[in-house]
Amino acid sequence: MHLVLKGRHSVSSRLDMADRATSLLASPTMFTSQRAVAVVVTIGTLVACSPAEPPTLLPAQRAAIADSLKSLIRNTYDLSKPGDPVARLMSLYPSTGPVISASGGQVTASRDTLQEGIRAFWDNVGKNMRDPKWTWGAMHVDVLAPDAAVITSTYSVPHLTPSGQPHVIAGAWTAVFQRKAGRWVIVQEHLSDVPAPAMPQSAAAMPAMPGMPEHKH
């Protein structure tokens, strides 16, 4: 008796399932709605998993970033300002972490090494320059993202030697800036000196900025 009731219950359940499937197929609206929901959920999942597109910068925003970087560089390299020039120049770099600097056929990746080079230049050369003026050429700025930009420019530093002779330090510089914690800093740079034959005849060799060949009066 138990087996008979169990068999009847099984047959009844199968008939109920068949009736539900028939009703679903007979209702195009319900079937279509369920499929639409499934498609929407699938698309939403794909969009959520897709990498976010970088924000698009408007021309005015790019110009503002470029102007900000130009002002930052000019102010930092203003040799007429009081205070420690080495500390001011090093403020362009991250306070911690590596800094890639290429010059004179060599590459350094240590912030401490870079600071040592700038300090050596200032102690051996900078202090001996009379009336120096750091002059920048055209600054070519390429804003890559809201927090990244690269700038290339030429520079020259006309001054007088301790003996009163005119002398010029000059070259080209490319720097990659990144905005970290709201501050623009240089993460990579490359410097190249103007070849000696192109320098004025009165310019004798002297130690220059990191990335420039040695020059002496």
CA distance 123 to 41: 67
pLDDT of residue 195: 79
> Taking Cα atoms as reference points, which of 70, 125, 121, 119 lies closest to residue 90?
119
pLDDT tens digits, 186-201: 999 999 998 765 555 4
Q: List helix spans (H) across the chain.
A: 2-26, 28-49, 59-76, 85-90, 111-124
Listed in sequence order, the residues at least 6 apart from 74 whose beta carbon sits closer than 8 Å to its beta carbon are: 136
Task: Domain ranges for the chain, please list them.
Answer: 2-49, 59-198
pLDDT of residue 97: 92
CA distance 116 to 111: 9
pLDDT band at 45; cut points 50, 70, 90: low
Question: What is the CB neighbour count within 10 angstroms for residue 176?
Answer: 17
CA distance 87 to 89: 6
Token pair listed for 107: 């590459």
pLDDT tens digits, 98-147: 999 999 899 999 999 999 999 999 999 999 999 999 999 999 999 999 99
pLDDT band at 29; cut points 50, 70, 90: low
Task: Give the E-state strand segments of 123-196 in sequence order.
Answer: 135-136, 140-145, 148-160, 166-180, 183-193
H or E element in which residue 107 lies = strand 106-108
pLDDT of residue 41: 47
pLDDT of residue 93: 98
pLDDT band at 175; cut points 50, 70, 90: very high
> Taking Cα atoms as reference points, which of 90, 112, 114 lies closest to residue 190?
114
Q: Can you tell me whether residue 10 is helix, strand or coil?
A: helix
CA distance 131 to 126: 10
CATH code for residues 59-198: 3.10.450.50
Q: Can you tell me whether residue 216 is helix, strand or coil?
A: coil
